[in-house]
């Protein structure tokens, strides 16, 4: 029996694609093994969003080649699109699978190995390793923010057909998944004819057997107001909104090539909180972008302090060769970028602890994903808070459950399961 190992870098979309690769390998008789094992095939699904990610992937390729000289080393993802093949082959890569070819990664690998494959064997959609299934609805982006390499790597937006998305979601529900995570490279760009992301979500919410839908990141300045309105009306759409805000300063947003102002962000978040006072909010922030003055950074801090943003991802700016921002003046010293990042991370952690306290003694839903050594169920609330619950029957793994947290441990909701009636499949 053939074996395959994986290493996936980067975003949720990359992980969704890697899950698809894994399912396709499994369908033709491969067994997945740890990266440390002597696999016949090793797939590195790469990311180039930062120079750091690229450097890490390059180091891993060299190490894998040295440790596993006889494995077929496969490179896919953004690096396959933007790095010269010769440079990748120098790191020991045997096979480069382009973005255009990634949907046929497994047949391409089998061809390289001299194995005939039948494409009809491959399951659609892919198997998942958690109780949450990822539904990819589109790929690509043409926003061309000045710091971002992704449009060059993934190309223009391409949406999957409306009916295909629904069919894949039905298959996931039939396979037992009760939470579907809707994701894409730029999810807000989804469009099939006249049907938008909101139309697709509305149709998904009507599928029999669905537990809930969790939405990935939504670009500000697009359809977020429409999504907020839908979220307020649809109990099965998790009340969690993640916006890659990046900065709270208008001048920096303009330099970044973003399509909104700080004022518009304030208005969107105010509206979301008016409709859903306990909505979970997430944000991405870049610290130390070229030209970010102390005053500009202070405006970003003000935004984070004003709103209950409970899931904050903060990154120090990293020059990405090939993007306009890499040539901008006003470079911020690396130590100052890191300092600003630490300041916002501390604020984000405080926000999350405060937000979690709101739910003590109130009904919270989760889908148990695993049980620990003492039998407690672990999962996530719809607001994206970690939950640890005692007394949950193991037969409810993967099903919607309700409990009332009796305490909050940092940012983790803890309590006992006491409402077996009304918990659904």
Q: What is the pLDDT of residues 290-345, one digit of tens each?
A: 999 999 999 999 999 999 999 999 999 999 888 999 999 999 999 999 999 999 99
Query: In degrees rounded to 5, what are phi and psi of residue 22?
Result: -60, -45
CA distance 17 to 45: 9
CB 402 within 8 A of CB 423: yes
CA distance 169 to 163: 10
Encoding tokens for residue 89? Answer: 């082959």
CB 88 within 8 A of CB 59: no
Neighbours of 73 (CB within 10 A): 21
Domain range summary for the chain, segments of one domain joined by +: 3-121, 132-357, 364-416
Percent over 70 (pLDDT), the chain: 94
Q: List the CATH code of the domain at 3-121.
A: 3.40.50.2300
CA distance 416 to 390: 5
CA distance 21 to 267: 41
Encoding tokens for residue 69? Answer: 């000289």
CB 99 within 8 A of CB 80: yes
CA distance 204 to 207: 6
- Tokens 């610290």 label which residue? 287
pTM: 0.83
* CATH level 3 topology of 132-357: pyruvate-formate lyase- activating enzyme (3.80.30)
HSE-up of 129 (CA within 13 Å, CB side)?
Answer: 11
Read off the pLDDT of each residue in 17-39 and give the average, rounded to a whole number.
Answer: 89
Helices (H), 324-391: 334-357
Confidence at residue 342, expressed as pLDDT on a 0 to 100 scale: 97
Confidence at residue 128, expressed as pLDDT on a 0 to 100 scale: 46
The DSSP symbol for 33 reads -
Could you read off the pLDDT of 100-137 as tens digits, one per residue?
888 889 999 998 888 765 544 444 444 444 578 889 99
Read off the pLDDT of each residue in 28-44 and give the average, rounded to a whole number.
Answer: 92
CA distance 184 to 165: 12
pLDDT band (50, 70, 90) for residue 419? low
Confidence at residue 11, expressed as pLDDT on a 0 to 100 scale: 81
pLDDT, mean over the chain: 91
Q: Kindly give, in sequence order, each residue whose CB lies less than 8 Å from that of residue 83, ignoring residues fewer than 6 positions away.
A: 48, 54
Read off the pLDDT of each residue in 222-250 and give the average, rounded to a whole number.
Answer: 97
Could you read off the pLDDT of 177-210 as tens digits, one per residue?
999 999 999 999 999 999 999 999 999 999 999 9
- Tokens 């790469």 label which residue? 46
DSSP string of 205-259, one letter each residue = HTSTT--EEEE----TTSSHHHHHHHHHH-TTB-SEEEEEEE-S-HHHHHHHT-S
Confidence at residue 185, expressed as pLDDT on a 0 to 100 scale: 93
Could you read off the pLDDT of 134-151 as tens digits, one per residue?
899 999 999 999 999 999
CA distance 276 to 57: 41
Could you read off the pLDDT of 41-95 as tens digits, one per residue?
999 999 888 778 888 999 999 999 999 999 999 999 999 988 999 999 999 999 9
């Amino acid at each position: 029996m053939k074996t395959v190992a994986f290493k996936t870098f980067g975003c949720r979309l990359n992980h969704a694609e890697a899950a698809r690769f894994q399912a396709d390998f499994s369908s033709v008789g491969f067994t997945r093994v740890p990266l440390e094992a002597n696999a016949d095939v090793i797939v590195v699904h790469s990311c180039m969003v930062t120079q750091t990610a690229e450097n890490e992937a390059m180091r891993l390729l060299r190490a894998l080649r040295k440790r596993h000289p006889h494995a077929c080393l496969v490179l896919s993802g953004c690096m396959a699109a933007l790095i010269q093949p010769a440079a990748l082959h120098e790191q020991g890569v045997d096979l480069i699978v382009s973005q255009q070819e990634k949907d046929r990664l497994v047949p391409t690998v089998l061809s390289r190995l001299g194995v005939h494959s039948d494409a009809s064997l491959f399951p659609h959609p892919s198997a998942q390793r958690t109780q949450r299934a990822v539904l990819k609805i589109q790929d690509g982006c043409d926003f061309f923010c000045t710091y971002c390499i992704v449009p060059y790597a993934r190309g223009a937006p391409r949406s999957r057909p409306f009916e295909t998305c629904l069919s894949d979601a039905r298959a996931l529900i039939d396979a037992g998944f009760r939470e579907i995570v809707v994701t894409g490279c730029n999810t807000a760009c989804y469009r099939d004819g006249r049907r938008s992301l909101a139309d697709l979500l509305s149709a998904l919410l009507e599928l029999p057997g669905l537990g809930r839908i969790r939405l990935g990141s939504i670009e500000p300045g697009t359809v977020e107001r429409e999504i907020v309105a839908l979220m307020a009306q649809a109990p099965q759409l998790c009340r969690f909104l993640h916006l890659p805000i990046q900065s709270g300063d208008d001048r920096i947003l303009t330099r970044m090539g973003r399509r909104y102002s700080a004022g518009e962000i304030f208005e969107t978040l105010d509206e979301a909180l008016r409709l859903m006072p306990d909505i979970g909010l997430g944000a991405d922030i870049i610290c130390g972008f070229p030209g970010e003055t102390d005053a500009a950074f202070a405006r970003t801090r003000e935004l984070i302090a004003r709103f209950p943003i409970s899931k904050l991802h903060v990154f120090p700016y990293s020059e990405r060769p090939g993007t306009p921002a890499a040539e901008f003046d006003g470079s911020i010293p690396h130590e100052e970028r890191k300092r600003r990042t630490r300041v916002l991370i501390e604020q984000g952690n405080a926000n999350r602890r405060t937000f979690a306290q709101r739910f003590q003694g109130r009904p919270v839903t989760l889908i148990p994903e695993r049980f620990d050594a003492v039998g407690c169920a672990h999962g996530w609330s719809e607001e994206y808070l970690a939950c640890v619950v005692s007394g949950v029957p193991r037969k409810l793994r993967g099903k919607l459950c309700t409990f009332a947290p009796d305490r909050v441990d940092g940012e983790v909701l803890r309590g006992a399961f006491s409402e077996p009636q009304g918990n659904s499949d």
